[in-house]
Amino acid sequence: MWFMSSAVLALSTSIILTASNGQADLKNLKENFNEELKIAKRYLCKELGNQRQSLCYERHLRFNQLNAMIRSNNASPNSSVALRFYPESLLSGEEFQRMRTGYIPQKITRVIPFRKRPTKRTAEEYLNYAEQGLVTPVKNQKECGACYAFTALSVLGSAFLRKFGKTTDFSEQQGIDCTFSRYDVRMNRGCHGGHPYYVLLYAKTKQFVSQTNYRYHNRLQHCNIVEKAQTVSLRAGVVESDGSDEALMQILRKMGPVSVAISVGDSDFKHYGGGIITQCGTVPDHAVVLVGYRVSDDAEGSYWIIKNSWGTKWGENGFARIRMGACNISEDRPVAVILK
């Protein structure tokens, strides 16, 4: 994978992203991101060396396609999302999926019972655990297809915050290394994908150490933890749901942040810079943390709030808003953890 020059990154990240609160903010985001395209083009081939000519041609070809697509979207007053060029934008759909996603669907038999209750919905309703200080900081999985580990440990971290008021920094590298198996289909595949449940299953009996003591290297390593019994009793599994938005909202209110699967594929999701996403792919391939929602019948409408694992420079400081009904968020059963 190639990286954009530090100069262009410094210039592009000088724009501070905040959740847009109206059409004016969204318009400003689009204009700023269009300016970034001019900067990025200057640095496409800077570090190529001996392979400069052939690779440079490929990069410019791909960049020109992206340039047209991003500008077309950002010029449309009907688009609810601002698209942005990132260093990873030139990856093919297959490359991006391999390096930046990592969710593998599994038939999880451990189910947490949940019954949807009749609810009198108010005209407007808003929940955001991140604003309540109950979500751990956004991290970056880099070029390792291990979204499952980041999502699982973010959910576990939120559970600790809700129960103990204690901020944790669990090691994703431990989650990758120590749930890996080349042969057991009930385990994960390192940087080649996995399922959040198996990380939480490991956490039921083994104690996670901090990021400081087991640093992230964005590649699979040997599990080198001296095994200790987990001192906190927890329950993990997929939550029984009828696949409706209402059920997922009730689960979120009761259990706190949960892991959900969405479809990124070769969609515009990877170019997301702000606003409300309305389209994704159809096959779940990426795990994210659902941290909130908004229900309203105004112009912005109803949407989910998710936390991603692509760093704070992506999206709205590492978060995104997704229109309810898009990306199949409600259809797959969420993964939750309950501390006893």
Q: Report the alpha-carbon distance of residue 207 to residue 205 in Å, rounded.
A: 7
Same domain, 109 and 61: no
Same domain, 62 and 187: no
Q: Report the alpha-carbon distance of residue 306 to residue 260 in Å, rounded.
A: 9
Same domain, 190 and 298: yes
Same domain, 114 and 82: no
252 — pLDDT class (breaks 50, 70, 90): very high
Same domain, 118 and 42: no
Same domain, 194 and 319: yes
Annotated catalytic residue: which of 45, 147, 191, 280? 147
- To the query of whether residue 140 is one of the catalytic residues in this protein, the response is no
The type of residue at 299 is A
CB 254 within 8 A of CB 323: no
Question: How many CB atoms are closer than 10 A to CB 215?
Answer: 11
Q: Is the pLDDT of residue 104 over 90?
A: yes
With respect to residue 1, please indicate whether it lies within any of the assigned structural domains. no
Domain that holds residue 12: 6-89
Same domain, 68 and 158: no
Q: What ranges make up the beta strands (E) of the chain?
A: 81-83, 111-112, 125-128, 234-239, 258-262, 272-277, 286-295, 303-307, 319-323, 335-339
Same domain, 10 and 132: no
- To the query of whether residue 64 is one of the catalytic residues in this protein, the response is no
Same domain, 152 and 266: yes
Same domain, 224 and 255: yes
With respect to residue 314, please indicate whether it lies within any of the assigned structural domains. yes
Annotated catalytic residue: which of 32, 34, 74, 308? 308
- To the query of whether residue 60 is one of the catalytic residues in this protein, the response is no
Count of the separate structural domains present in the chain: 2
Q: What is the pLDDT of residues 153-187, one digit of tens each?
A: 999 999 999 999 989 899 999 999 999 998 887 78
Mean pLDDT of all residues in 8-28: 56
Same domain, 181 and 286: yes
Paired strand residues for 304: 293, 322
End-to-end CA distance of the chain: 43
Annotated catalytic residue: which of 144, 178, 195, 286? 286
The SS3 of residue 11 is helix
Render 13-60 in DSSP notation, one character per residue.
TTSPP----SHHHHHHHHHHHHHHHHHHHTTTTTT-GGGHHHHHHHHH
Please give the model's pTM, rounded to 2 decimal places: 0.90
Quote the tokens at residue 51. Answer: 């392979």
Same domain, 45 and 76: yes
